Chains A and B, each alone.
Chain A
Amino acid sequence: MSPGHRQVIMMTDFVKKTIRPFRALRFLARKPHTIISPHEQHNDIEGEPLPTERYRGIHINDWETCISCGLCARICPCDAIEMVEVEGEQKKRPEVSYGRCCFCGFCEDVCPRDSMHLTSNYVMIDKNSETFTFLPENDLEEFQKEYIVETSQLRYNDKDVKKAEKGPSAKKGVKGKKKK
């Protein structure tokens, strides 16, 4: 090995051992991938909020257009939908059991009147297990009022929560990508 060659090797070794570790410093500025849900909004790579429109979450069913054909109950692969009689209603209505539901959205696909829909809402926390069997109606408002998770139930570091609640500008998703 010629002395020049050795020098080159020493140089590359020097670069590898001494200079390169400093490159790791740039990761100090990189924010973590994790977010503080639900205090912080989950965004995709372009900064658009998630979940998207197509997200398959809790059902809604328009009772005015629903003709009680029962197709949703028949297609359901998990046997989660059941047609039940409702007080004050002549027709049977689909009742969804979320202990069984796999959120495949087949009920939405077969609905001939387009009344059954899966909303993009998926947060439901409750202590009572019977909550998770319910009759989907027009909107989720009433359901949400009662059963949407209260922020105090989730335990996070107070500092992190404050930071997150300051707004989306306090945290960036991907390095170099601005939100909205």
Chain B
Amino acid sequence: MKEDTLSDVDKKSENYVPGQTTVQEVLGYVSAHLPDLEVKLLSSRRGEILVDHSIKGEVLTRLKEEGFDHFAALSCIDLIDDDRIQLVYHVWSYGSKGHILVKTELPRKDPSTDTVYRIYRPAITYEREIKEMFGVDFPGNPRLTQFILEDWEGPPPMLKDFDTEAYAVDHFNMVRRDPPSKPPQPKKGGES
């Protein structure tokens, strides 16, 4: 990956003007142009769009053009009962002070979806974390390297079916505290 340095960036336009499109306008636009999407207005400043993961890139590009250019977070939720993995893209507009959650769902088996880091740069790190913690693959992301877990060999640990206790007992020689069968202890043990 070629790294663009700060001096390259300086040549880009200096004047930043936050977009003024409100949440209502964006949701209206989305429901008019993509009628099969489910949109919800949660409050005057918050909206929610449910998209299929194949077209989330288009929706996010449009949102960025409309001024929702702060990528606040990318959350991943393991919906084990529905056998799905949900990704939530949080975007915020500095101009209209609105927050939109773009939700998309992936199958739980071999989840994979295109990266959005070319649209929203901060996603590069969030995707890197989710790859490690949930096992979701993001083709196109150049930084899907080892992140927090060093020398990790087990399954992705944030999945709901990951048995934390069994893993700890297996790998770290953990001593389990077992309250019911514990004999009464002397009040103060040993010499001081």
Direct contact of A and B (CB under 8 A): yes
Q: Contact residues of A with B, CB < 8 Å?
A: 79, 82-87, 95, 126-128, 130-131, 133-135, 146-147
CB pair A87 B184 closer than 8 Å: yes
Report chain B residues within 8 Å CB of A146.
188, 192
Give A85 to B192 CA distance when docked, in angstroms. 23
CB pair B188 A84 closer than 8 Å: no
Q: Look across to chain B and name the residue whose beta carbon is closest to the beta carbon of A142.
A: B188
CB pair B192 A147 closer than 8 Å: yes
CB pair A131 B192 closer than 8 Å: yes
Q: Which residues of B from 163 to 192 have beta carbons under 8 Å from A?
A: 177, 179, 182, 184-185, 187-192
Q: Look across to chain A and name the residue whose beta carbon is closest to the beta carbon of B185.
A: A84
Q: Contact residues of B with A, CB < 8 Å?
A: 177, 179, 182, 184-185, 187-192
Q: Look across to chain A and name the residue whose beta carbon is closest to the beta carbon of B189.
A: A130
Give A147 to B184 CA distance when docked, in angstroms. 22
Give A128 to B192 CA distance when docked, in angstroms. 6
CB pair B189 A84 closer than 8 Å: no
Report chain A residues within 8 Å CB of B182.
82, 84
Q: Which of B179, B188, B190, B192 contacts A82 (CB 8 A)?
A: B179
Report chain B residues within 8 Å CB of A128.
189-192
Q: Which of A79, A86, A126 contacts B192 (CB 8 A)?
A: A126
Give A50 to B63 CA distance when docked, in angstroms. 54
Report chain B residues within 8 Å CB of A79.
177
Report chain B residues within 8 Å CB of A87.
184
Q: Which of B179, B184, B190 contacts A130 (CB 8 A)?
A: B190
Report chain A residues within 8 Å CB of B184.
84-87
What would 8 A/B residue contacts be, using CB atoms closer than 8 Å? A82-B179, A82-B182, A84-B182, A84-B184, A86-B187, A130-B189, A133-B189, A135-B187
